[in-house]
Structure 1
Amino acid sequence: MMKKPNVIMFGIDSLRRDYMSSYGYHRLTTPHMDKIASEGVLFENHFSPSIPTTPAYASMLTGMDCFGTDVVALRHQGGLGNHVKTLPEILAQHDYNTTCIGFTNNPSSRGFQKYLEYEAWQPDETGRCPKAENLNEVAIPELKRLNKEDKPFFLFLRHMDPHSPYLPPRPFERIFYDGDEKDPTNQSMEPVYNFKPHADFFKSWIPQGVTDQRYVCAQYEGAIAYMDACIQHIFTTVEELGIEEETLIVLTSDHGETLYEHECFFDHHGMYDNCLIVPLILKFPGQLTEGKRITDTTVIQDITPTILELLGIETDIAFNGQSLARAIKGEELAPIAEFYITECTWMRKHGWRTPEWKLIQALEPDFHFKPEIELYHLVKDPEEIHNLASEEPEMVNVLQQRMKNYIAEREAETGRVNPIYTNIHYHGLEEGPLKSSQEAYDKLYLGSISNARKIQAK
């Protein structure tokens, strides 16, 4: 009997689709991933509707939305329930070896047979952190070990280079920047350093004296380019092992990133499109059309059913996502015109997104002192700068009603309360909803790199 295909999944943390050259970015940030896109299928409108990390990976690895996983928060109360099966659990039942790199202790990565870690936070003696190379040192020997077994394998790689702190090693820290980052007349970093909840975290990794926000954004670009170069080492190993034809490559991300937009500096909170839009690229030689680009709207919970169909594995699971294999063959997908969005990182909000409009509704005051209701016309205002909530009260009502109806429908289907309503301790403070933006500003403190890593580990 022929061995089933292998899967290597790059679940890259905090990678913005619009910063990848294959998606039209004006700088050549991702040449090696672009090549994979040219040899496979690229999805142009792929979304992660529930951010941040924990709910997004939960959806990615189960094929379920946030009602199906019952997970919405970074520090989720309760974890991923046994009512859902994860992709590694399903593949293990079909005689796969499964390994996860860079994602221990999180309920969203449940079910791997082997977990390996690497240094993805602390800078080395040069003040930089070669995250992707640290990952390769663990991943490439593991890839070779898996290949020696007589079973197919699923290797999941959680790259952290685009996740703050952005610390690409030389020369990548300057390949997209040629200014004076410490120019005393530039004041663009003032609002960043003045944002008390995260200021100490920023100061723990942004070099002292940096005044230009463009320099920090260039670190993000450089981190992506550095990671892309390191990822090529993994593609080369796949070629050298002679397993290209029998290996499905999946390149995607859990959510995007905010750089200097919306005053949510260098993090991934805020349900603006820079956080919700992510890449999805699939390569499977002989099975998928080369160089195909699909414009249909797709969502993160489509990934697991797609992988299973491409591997020829049938299950009786009623996924919330749909397999995208049909679209790859040129058939129609069930259209996704609008969808529910949630965020539970440093702010607890939910909303509704259509191709034209986005509603963002706060469930408690946030530490940016933003209004309770935000409404954006995505066609006229794709940057989501002009809040039209007070000018378009009827549209707010229409979208609120659609959102309410959808929540009621999903609560009835799952027999559970919407998890965004029950995760009131998402911030780790062990107290109920915050009463004011000032209280949130005073209490939600991030601290150093070490503290940020601890929060992720929880």
Structure 2
Amino acid sequence: MRKPNVIVFGIDSLRRDFMSSYGYHRLTTPHIDKIASEGVLFENHFSPSIPTTPAYASMLTGMDCFGTDVVALRHQGGLGNHVKTLAEVLEDNGYNTTCVGFSNNPSSRGFQNYLDYEAWVADETGRCPKAENLNEVAIPELRRLNEEGKPFFLFLRHMDPHSPYLPPKPFERMFYDDDEKDPANDSMEPVYKFKPHADFLKSWIPEGVTDERYVTAQYEGAIAYMDVCIQNIFATVEDLGIEEETLIVITSDHGETLYEHDCYFDHHGMYDNCLVVPLIMKYPGKLPSGKRMKDETLIQDIMPTILDVMGIQTDIPFTGRNLVDVVNGKDLPQVSEFYITECTWMRKHGWRTPEWKLIQSLEPDFHFKPEIELYNLIKDPAENHNVAEREPEVVALLQKRMEDYIVRREAETGRINPIYTNVNYHGLGTGPFKSSEDAYNHLYLGSITNARKLQSK
């Protein structure tokens, strides 16, 4: 009997709270919702180390950032040989492996085939049909892999929810019916005044837009458009007759900031809008249908779970858990608190519990935020009220828990915490910033083309 196939939808920058399957008030993901109704949906799934590079490293190795030694977007060097990727393990077990849309990144090491597609630059309509561009290369590859007669692993990195948000018609106005250029609306003024990212945002937001809700609606429309296109892939799986032997995994590397926390239309800031991501798994017979799990789960749980579903055993000491055991109700330790890191445009780390979020800067950031932030997630789930000065005992307690965890993981891995060593995360070669003014004046994203180059590095 042939081993099961696996298709992983690694959807970049997808917030779970903007998906209708997770209760969003707009119907953004009806086709993904159907998959969720036929499989298992994890309601409280987190990506603790953002952005893209460390998140995918954890997803595709089953390790936390201490295990991968990766925390920065601009990771220096390859993924260390001390870890083995999911693609490498599956190839060792007779799988054909293909990665779509994620070449030239250390986190995607080990695939046999890499295919790329246009996911940044608009076409002659001013829009970028990212998911259709992906389908043009992914669906023929899916058919080829099936024809090979061997089990396969197909990894699809969708980019529609990643800025620039450029869904084609009619999705660009699917959730917006107002005047986006209303001169009386000044909500976009702070966006355009944020010098580090202003030129990038102006390079794809239509000239004259004054309403931030219009840009947020583009994000919503991009998700809805992508969902429709993903249905094409589900239809191909059905047409090939391999639904019963294919594990479907739908997840994301991190969320997105829209108009919150002054981190406009990007994914930096360790607030929950960036840390919360979806996880949906469907595999008939092995995983139950229509089950929703409330347990907190982490991105490093994905690889050991996939291997268990596929019946593959390894001696890898994962830091992630096998979620099949969680789904089946086995008595396992709960994930109640965890270490978080960010190394995109700011270098920070922190500690999250069900009640509290501690964010601690390791150098001044370009948003001029305080060194210590503390949020009560029960009373203030949107994380708008920093109570660090009012709750010094809580700050000290969480700092102690974080520091104890760092010491333990450094001892277990024999390596220094990578958030301490990645001082050149911005690629400027200048070391830690001495002030927020210094960071603000030196960090610059630029145009869409520059942003794409940054991702490719």
Same fold (TM over 0.5): yes
Shift of 1:301: 0.2
Residue identity matched to 1:307: I
Other-structure match for 1:213 = 212
Residue identity matched to 2:15: R
Other-structure match for 1:13 = 12
**RMSD between superposed Cα atoms in Å:** 0.5
| 1:294 partner SS | strand
Other-structure match for 1:133 = 132
Other-structure match for 1:445 = 444
Residue identity matched to 2:153: F
Residue identity matched to 2:423: I
Q: Deviations over 1:180-222 (max 9, x none)?
A: 0000000000000000000000000000000000000000000
Residue identity matched to 1:309: D
Other-structure match for 1:167 = 166
Q: Given the alignment of the two structures, is residue 253 of structure 1 paired with residue 218 of structure 2, yes or no?
A: no
Query: What CA distance in whole angstroms lies between the structure 2 residues aligned with 1:163 and 1:74?
Result: 15
Other-structure match for 1:279 = 278
Other-structure match for 2:38 = 39
Q: Given the alignment of the two structures, is residue 95 of structure 1 paired with residue 103 of structure 2, yes or no?
A: no
Shift of 1:330: 2.6
Residue identity matched to 2:413: T
Query: What CA distance in whole angstroms lies between the structure 2 residues aligned with 1:38 and 1:334?
Result: 27
Query: What CA distance in whole angstroms lies between the structure 1 residues aligned with 2:93 and 2:288?
Result: 26
Shift of 1:304: 0.1
Shift of 1:285: 1.2
Other-structure match for 1:341 = 340
Other-structure match for 1:232 = 231
Query: What CA distance in whole angstroms lies between the structure 2 residues aligned with 1:397 and 1:384?
Result: 19
Other-structure match for 1:389 = 388
Q: Given the alignment of the two structures, is residue 81 of structure 1 paired with residue 87 of structure 2, yes or no?
A: no
| 1:4 partner SS | coil
| 1:45 partner SS | strand
Other-structure match for 1:297 = 296
Matches within 5 A, 1:321-360: 321-360=320-359
Q: Deviations over 1:78-119 (max 9, x none)?
A: 331000000000000000000000000000000000000000
Q: Deviations over 1:298-326 (max 9, x none)?
A: 00000000000000000000000010001
Other-structure match for 1:405 = 404
Query: What CA distance in whole angstroms lies between the structure 2 residues aligned with 1:386 and 1:79?
Result: 39
Residue identity matched to 2:449: S
| 1:248 partner SS | strand
Shift of 1:225: 0.1
Instruction: Give every structure 1 segment of 4 or more consecutive aligned residues whose post-TM-superposition deviation is greater than 3 Å.
Output: none
Contact 1:324 1:333 in 2 (8 A): no
Q: Deviations over 1:153-197 (max 9, x none)?
A: 000000000000000000000000000000000000000000000
Other-structure match for 1:429 = 428
Contact 1:201 1:446 in 2 (8 A): yes
| 1:155 partner SS | strand
Q: Deviations over 1:361-387 (max 9, x none)?
A: 000000000000000000000000000
Q: Deviations over 1:379-435 (max 9, x none)?
A: 000000000011111110000011000000000000000000000000010111000
Q: Given the alignment of the two structures, is residue 316 of structure 1 paired with residue 315 of structure 2, yes or no?
A: yes
Q: Deviations over 1:255-293 (max 9, x none)?
A: 000000000000000000000000000000122111000
Shift of 1:150: 1.7
Other-structure match for 2:62 = 63
Other-structure match for 2:199 = 200
Shift of 1:332: 3.1
TM-score (norm 2): 1.00
Gaps of 5+ in 1: none
Query: What CA distance in whole angstroms lies between the structure 2 residues aligned with 1:57 and 1:342?
Result: 14
Q: Deviations over 1:13-51 (max 9, x none)?
A: 000000000000000000000000000000000000000
Query: What CA distance in whole angstroms lies between the structure 1 residues aligned with 2:390 and 2:161?
Result: 37
TM-score (norm 1): 0.99
Gaps of 5+ in 2: none
Shift of 1:334: 2.1
Q: Percent identity?
A: 79
Shift of 1:331: 2.3
Residue identity matched to 1:202: L
Query: What CA distance in whole angstroms lies between the structure 1 residues aligned with 2:257 and 2:338?
Result: 21
| 1:434 partner SS | coil
Contact 1:71 1:79 in 2 (8 A): no
